[in-house]
Structure 1
Amino acid sequence: MAANEDQEMELEALRSIYEGDECFKELGPTVFQYRVGDVGDGKAFLIEISWPETYPETAPSISMNAFFNNQISPAVKQSIANRLQEQVEANLGTSMTYTLFEYAKDNKEELMERHQPYSNSIALAGSDSTIETTNKTSSSKKKEKKEQLTKAQKRKLADKTDHKGELPRGWNWVDVIKVMTKGFVLVLVEVFIFCI
């Protein structure tokens, strides 16, 4: 069989196996992602596998560089990629995308055993202190903005309020009375016409 026929068969198999699985994503006919673990899980990670033209005779490309993996240290990502590469070498010449995804699922705890929550920080040379590059402190210091009124809106509001800044009793009744009088006049006209 030609490599393209093998790829087509594996693509159909992947689609049927992972149909309805929210962890599996087909980014293209030769690029696939699989999330190992739940979204809120601190040890979850995402694997991306790309097939070259001559796959499965040649090894697929394995990437751990998805944004989802930003909280994983580069050493742990490399360790996972190396372990998956061992599986690729053992399965070379056969369809292996499903095998790689299932291997990662089955060995998730082992693959992530050295994982520590990772933050993007810069260590100063010759110093024990660390400078955080995240914006956690600056975002917490921001105050909520109050809605700003235009001068015309302020003037209109000031015209409606008394010296204490309170609206007088019945301030919005004027509009209600105008509407009711228009309706009352129409009813009187209809009654008058009906009586004639």
Structure 2
Amino acid sequence: MTTTMFTQFSEGSLPAITDEVDLLRRARQADRAACEELFVRYLKESSSIQGLLRRALARPEDREEMLHEIYMQLISANNDFRGESRLSTYVYQVARVTIFQKYRRENTLKRRGVLRVISQAFDIPDKAQSNPEYCYIQKECHQTLETMIHKLPTAYREALRLRVMENYSYNEIAEEMRLPLNTVSTKIHKGKRLLASLAQA
């Protein structure tokens, strides 16, 4: 089992930050303890968030991807939390909006092959492997994506290459690069945005 900065903590052992407004503020300022508590207690070990993900997304790898997207939304400071409700309620609402926006965004981009594979591993189904035309198109898409990744700044290149080209999980990338899980989330999130900009240029 992969051990990372976040997964090594159980809910009972987390260094709890009692003020929820302060917790989110500190997480947005990249405070390590706050980031750990926010990710583990309010996302990874939250039964309501995990239930929402299971209802919305069938594949475990899609749920993992979405979990990190929700985390990035929480620490982006684009949303205001004043403590008028519980932080868990706020996190749940952010999760719902993030899932909805992803569905809408994917519908907009569904005809763009390169952008479509940014968020999923490159894979050729068994039944299509003998189809030369299909394989050629997929190979071209794969090569284009690889070229674009090499154009990214060094800070994002390797994490995104492992995620998109090698089909590594977030935990595996964190272990391979010896980075905290939240840092991996940030690198992949920003790398995808840069990659999408390159694809549309």
From the CA coordinates, give the structure whose radius of gyration is larger. 1
Structure 2 length normalisation: TM-score? 0.29
Greater share of residues in strand: 1
- Quick one: higher RCO (CA 8 Å, sep 6+), 1 or 2? 2
Greater share of residues in helix: 2
